[in-house]
Chains A and B, each alone.
Chain A
Amino acid sequence: AQKITQTQPGMFVQEKEAVTLDCTYDTSDPSYGLFWYKQPSSGEMIFLIYQGSYDQQNATEGRYSLNFQKARKSANLVISASQLGDSAMYFCAMRGYSSASKIIFGSGTRLSIRP
């Protein structure tokens, strides 16, 4: 079975500070992908960053980076220099690369940026 755990229901961060959103996962698939999505109050689900389980380097996309620790089964999202527009729900997700590769999501972290 596959499972994604996000233990921080909500976080408050001062503008311009860096923030780390935690994500741990469990899977029996030897090969898998990890994703982070942002969901603002408007409701759309915005893809942020992807990490493959066999990628040697941690993924980065602009101000977003993924701190991938395979042995610990963690895939934390780091947002550098946070902005007011970063306030949203953030979901960690995983896709196992076995026969039927559905994507499963964690329960999310609500990030609020203080001016």
Chain B
Amino acid sequence: GAGVSQSPRYKVAKRGQDVALRCDPISGHVSLFWYQQALGQGPEFLTYFQNEAQLDKSGLPSDRFFAERPEGSVSTLKIQRTQQEDSAVYLCASSSTGKTEAFFGQGTRLTVV
């Protein structure tokens, strides 16, 4: 079947704009993760869903970041009033259970100008 799909692939936002990043996980995958990856660094955890429940949002850097997965499938990461430091690649991953490997989408590269 299809892998994890993220859209858009690239997003340029003016500072202060709101953005919404979409993640379509592998069908049937229970767990969904969001990560932020700066250039040359490892992915930094943002938030984790199990079905529709957001079990961990400890990595969200500020209250401008918000994530949801209302029906336990597609997830949206929203960033309000974007700042230059929000520029990064945002990766979404899903896994079938709580103990298996996660499969990643191709990411959304966000540039805030």
Which residues in A have some Cβ–Cβ distance to B below 8 Å? Answer: 33, 35, 37, 43-47, 50, 52, 91, 95, 97, 99-108
Residues of B contacting A105 with CB < 8 Å?
35, 42-45
Known: A100-B48, A100-B55, A100-B56. A47 touches B41 (CB 8 A): no
Cβ of A95 and Cβ of B42 under 8 Å apart?
no
In the complex, the answer to whether B55 meets A99 with C-beta atoms within 8 Å is yes
B101 x A50 contact (CB < 8 A): yes
Are B48 and A97 interface neighbours, CB within 8 A? no
Given A35-B101, A43-B89, A91-B43, 16 additional A-B pairs, CB 8 A: A33-B100, A35-B102, A37-B104, A44-B104, A52-B99, A100-B55, A101-B98, A101-B99, A102-B59, A103-B33, A103-B102, A105-B35, A105-B45, A106-B42, A107-B42, A108-B41
Q: Does B79 contact A (CB under 8 A)?
A: no
- Measured CB to CB, the closest approach of chain A to B30, in angstroms, equals 11
Chain B residues with CB below 8 A from A104, complex form: 45
Taking CB atoms, residues of chain B closer than 8 Å to A50 are 100-101
What residues of chain A lie closer than 8 Å to B56, measured between beta carbons? 100, 102
How far is it, in angstroms, between the C-alpha of A108 and the C-alpha of B37 when the chains are bound? 12
Q: How far is the CA of A91 from the CA of B40 in the complex (A)?
A: 11
- Complex CA gap A104/B93 in Å reads 12
Q: In the complex, what distance in Å separates the CA atom of A50 from the CA atom of B99?
A: 10
Please give the residue numbers on chain B whose beta carbons come within 8 Å of chain A beta carbons, in ascending order: 31, 33, 35, 40-45, 48, 55-56, 59, 89, 91, 93, 98-104, 106-107
Chain A residue nearest in CB terms to B106:
A44
- Distance (Å) between the CB of A98 and the closest chain B CB? 10
Q: How far is the CB of B95 from chain A (nearest CB, A)?
A: 8
Known: A43-B89, A44-B106. A33 touches B99 (CB 8 A): yes
A selection of 12 A-B contacts at a CB cut-off of 8 Å is A33-B99, A43-B89, A43-B107, A44-B104, A45-B104, A50-B101, A91-B43, A97-B99, A102-B56, A105-B44, A107-B42, A108-B42
For B33, the chain A residues whose CB sits under 8 A away are: 102-103
Provide the bound-state CA to CA distance between A103 and B44, in Å.
Answer: 9
Closest chain A CB from B55 CB (angstroms): 4
